[in-house]
Amino acid sequence: EPEVTQTPSHQVTQMGQEVILRCVPISNHLYFYWYRQILGQKVEFLVSFYNNEISEKSEIFDDQFSVERPDGSNFTLKIRSTKLEDSAMYFCASSEASLNTEAFFGQGTRLTVV
């Protein structure tokens, strides 16, 4: 069964460092998303991406964040200068269509900023 894969599963980084979280969405999907969950809080939307551009982003997704689809298969989230409050589980998801189809999630990358 096709699945969304994310690497690494766990990343520890020093405050101020740049991190890149990687995702391989399901191959025929057109919409890609990043979500995150800070420990003990709700899963929060960060950004959606379609047709090689951001289609929607949340207030969390400020200039420190960027997304890229560098080739036909990968979808990356870059955090330019990490802060302690960026520590969270980051989930990538993809879907065939945007509205009433299910989004398939990866297992997540646990980012710990120290």
Partner 1 sequence: ILNVEQSPQSLHVQEGDSTNFTCSFPSSNFYALHWYRWETAKSPEALFVMTLNGDEKKKGRISATLNTKEGYSYLYIKGSQPEDSATYLCAFRGYGGATNKLIFGTGTLLAVQP
Chain-centroid distance of CA 107 in Å reads 11
Please give the residues from 30 up to 59 whose contact with partner 1 meets the rule CB under 8 A: 31, 33, 35, 41-45, 48, 50, 55-56, 58
The least distance separating partner 1 from the CB of residue 103, rounded to whole angstroms, comes to 6
Size of the site for partner 1 (CB under 8 A): 27
Q: Pick between residue 4 and residue 67 the one whose CB is nearest to partner 1.
A: 4
The stretch near partner 1 (CB under 8 A) out of 15-23, 65-73, 74-82, 97-105 is: 97-105
Long-range contacts of 26-30 (CB under 8 A, 24+ apart): 26/2, 26/94, 26/104, 27/2, 27/73, 28/96, 29/94, 29/95, 29/96, 29/104, 30/95, 30/96, 30/97
Q: Does 107 bind partner 1 (CB under 8 A)?
A: yes
Nearest-approach distance from CB 5 to partner 1, in angstroms: 9
Contact residues for 75 (Cβ-Cβ < 8 A; gap 6+):
22, 23, 24, 25, 32, 49, 67, 68, 69, 92, 94
Binding region for partner 1 (CB under 8 A): 3-4, 31, 33, 35, 41-45, 48, 50, 55-56, 58, 91, 98-108
